[in-house]
Amino acid sequence: MKRVGWLLVFLLPLALFSAGAHAAPKGKITAAYGGEPETFDPHTGTSSPILTVHNNVFDNLVTINPRTGDVVPQLAESYKAVSPTTWEFKLRRGVKFTNGEPVDAAAVKFSIERIIDPKTKSRQIGYFSTIKSVEAVDAHTVRIHTKAADAVLLKQLTVYGFIAPPKYYSSHPADYLATRPIGSGPYKLVRWRKHEEMVLEANPNYMDPKVPYFKTAVIKFIPEAATRVAGLVSGDLDFAEGVPPQMVELIKRNPKVEAVNFLQPRSSGLLFVTTKGGPMGNVKVRQALNHAVDVDSIVKNVLKGHGRKVPVFQTEGTFGYTEDVKTYPYDPAKAKAMLAEAGYPNGFETDLLVPVGRFFLGKEVSEAIGGYLEKVGVKAKVKPLEWGAMVRIIRARHQPEVKPFLYYLARFFFILDGDQAYEGWFSSKSAFGSFKDPEVDQILAEGRSTTDPQKRLAVYHRLNQVIKEKAPMIFLFQEGTINGKKKDIDWRPRINGFPLVRDAAGK
């Protein structure tokens, strides 16, 4: 990678992403996931089920190297920063969408403008809030102009900002597009039975002739983990996402399948509603509750070792993480003393909200935390809720009738950057967060606008220390994930956590 002033150019051969050379796609792979995307419109949603599936049908201008995490070209053949507020992308020539439309500058301009158009009502719009305009310089050159320097934009384009054919997407209503996607990716959607399965067929004209390996990919949506594991062990599935730790032994007894463990870029914690005062508005209380929870014991006994305690919300492997910030040691005596100093010698009562089935053992972890908090006098009533109901309470957190509470959160850091770890939860502008602090806001703004990597790294090291001291949440662990697969399938998740069928191959 060569850097000269504001110039940053990156070129990479497509072969980097190929699972293995082969003459043509063949055979079928059947994979099961716990979550189903709510839409196949590439420009509206942001959930992990959406991204896990959409990445097989759509491509981005740039993507993340699945093994190193570096930003590398995808539909672009190269890119460069021509100024602090302008990115230029040179597109690959001859690439087409599966309906025959060209992948050109007009398609890029249309796709990004569709996301940032308020009429689209896209949840992705916040990731591209700094974009001022998109310029089609010529048929194969695009420039994205921002209102100010944005050090995160390029990384956001690796996850969101899928490129779609303008004629097709401008000539059909939203409900039609939600189930009939057209992209340039290695697969095409040929059938979707809601709450059951999707069937994808290989794109014979994909720009990388070595991808995909399998001609047909069947993606089944099975919420129950036990059912997914049973399908893998019986041979009906080639891959099962999210194996519970207690079911690993069942997989080990079958010589044809295996469990694959990895630490994903996903962190868990309990957020405090701090903006309404009360005990959680007191930093000593927040620090005390971090000392009150034995996270190492939860990782060992609840997660069965599939996780790692983190000092802050950010995880190792994401930009800005530093080992210089240490975890809160488990010290219930200190927690009690700090609560007394803060004016709560007898503790207090609060609710602890946790969504049912959304996060890895979230209910079990929350119940364990409730037990630790009770030992220091804090009675946290664990309330398992359907995700939609929990979101409605979070959104109403500032209403007068709502008392302060704790809520369980796990967050994927898809772009592998500290900005994603903190902007959405600890910024005063956050739609979900409940923490307002001028110092944190200032450092977050500095981190996003600093384009020099080394200077930016120092900003996030400082931010991590400040976040730890202000303790806007009970910091828990980086999640470990277990997937199951047949041994004759060559497939592992990308470094940012996505298990994509486009990456699977036979051995």
Is residue 500, in this structure, part of any structural domain at all?
yes
Q: Are residues 475 and 502 in the same domain?
A: no
Residue in this structure with the two tokens 């997660």, named with its chain if needed: 303
pLDDT average, residue stretch 457-466: 95
The string of pLDDT tens digits covering residues 128-142 is 999 999 999 999 999
The structure tokens listed for 320 are 């800005």
What is the rounded (10 degree) CA torsion for 111, 115, 120, 121? 160
Are residues 429 and 407 located together in one domain of the fold? yes
State whether 86 and 102 are in the same domain.
yes
pLDDT in the model for residue 13: 47
CB 259 within 8 A of CB 252: yes
381 vs 366: CA distance, rounded Å: 10
Assess if residue 212 is contained within a domain: yes
Residue 366 and residue 475 in one domain? yes
Q: Is 22 helix (H, G, I), strand (E, B) or coil?
A: coil
* Residue 234 resides in a domain: no
- Kindly list the distances between the CA atom of residue 254 and the CA atoms of 154, 166, 232, 257, 425, in Å, as whole numbers in the listed order: 44, 48, 10, 6, 43
pLDDT at residue 17 above 80? Answer: no
Q: What is the CA radius of gyration of the chain?
A: 23
β 349-355/379-385 pair status: parallel
Three-class SS state of 430: coil
Q: Are residues 208 and 340 in the same domain?
A: no
Classify the C-alpha dihedral 427-267-264-221 as positive or negative.
Answer: negative
User: Given a cut of 60, is residue 7 above it in pLDDT?
Assistant: no
Residue 381 lies in a domain: yes
Phi-psi region of 317 (alpha: psi -120 to 50; beta: other; left: phi over 0): left
436 band by pLDDT with thresholds 50, 70 and 90: confident
Give CA–CA dist 164/167, Å, rounded. Answer: 9
> In this structure, how many other beta carbons lie within 10 angstroms of the beta carbon of residue 286?
22
As given in the structure block, the two tokens for residue 189 are 């959607």
Beta-strand ranges (E) seen in 333-472 are 349-355, 379-385, 406-412
Tokens read off for 139: 């048929």
Share of the chain above pLDDT 90, in %: 74
Which of the four pLDDT bands, split at 50, 70 and 90, describes residue 455?
very high
Find the largest Cα–Cα distance for the chain.
Answer: 71
Q: Are residues 287 and 334 in the same domain?
A: yes
Residue 23 has a pLDDT of 67
User: Which pLDDT band, with edges at 50, 70 and 90, does 5 fall under?
Assistant: very low
CATH no. for residue 127?
A: 3.40.190.10
> Which one-letter amino acid corresponds to residue 483?
N
My answer on whether 449 and 301 are in the same domain is yes
Lowest-confidence segment of 89-103, 170-184, 230-244, 390-404 by average pLDDT: 390-404
The answer to whether residue 152 scores a pLDDT higher than 60 is yes
Distances (CA, A) of 287 to 278, 296, 330, 468: 15, 17, 11, 9
Residues 415, 156: contact at Cβ < 8 Å?
A: yes
Q: Which two tokens stand for residue 175?
A: 């409900």
Any domain includes 247: no
Whether 248 is covered by a domain: the verdict is no
Give the 3-state secondary structure percentages of the chain, helix then strand then coil, rounded to 5: 30, 25, 45
Q: Extract the tokens encoding 89.
A: 């992308």
CA 94 centroid distance within chain: 31
- With left for phi above 0 and alpha for psi between -120 and 50, is residue 471 left, alpha or beta? left
- The closest alpha carbon to 270, from 280, 278, 260, belongs to 280
pLDDT at 11 over 60: no
Do 293 and 419 have their domain in common?
yes
Question: Can you tell me whether residue 156 is helix, strand or coil?
Answer: helix
What CATH number does residue 371 fall under?
3.10.105.10
Q: What is the pTM of this model?
A: 0.86
* Distances 116 to 57, 112, 159, 290, 428 between C-alpha atoms, Å: 21, 6, 15, 39, 22
Q: Could you tell me the pLDDT band of residue 356, with boundaries at 50, 70 and 90? A: confident
Report residue 435: phi and psi, to 5°: -125, 125
**Residue 358 pLDDT > 60, yes or no?**
yes
Same domain membership, residue 437 and residue 321: yes
> Is 97's pLDDT higher than 90?
yes
The stretch 243-250 carries a mean pLDDT of 92
pLDDT bucket at 14, cuts 50 / 70 / 90: low
Q: What is the average pLDDT across 413-428? A: 87
Give me the number of domains the chain comprises: 2
Cα–Cα nearest to 241, from 507, 504, 26, 506: 504
Q: Is the pLDDT of residue 408 over 60?
A: yes
pLDDT in tens, 77-86: 999 999 999 9
Does 252 map to a domain? no
On whether both 492 and 474 belong to a single domain, the answer is no
Model confidence at 458: pLDDT above 70: yes
Give the H or E element holding residue 503.
none
Q: Which residue range is the domain that position 337 belongs to? A: 264-481
The reply to whether 329 and 476 lie within a common domain is: yes
Residue pointed to by tokens 């039975």: 193
Within-domain flag for 347 = yes
Is pLDDT of 340 > 90? yes
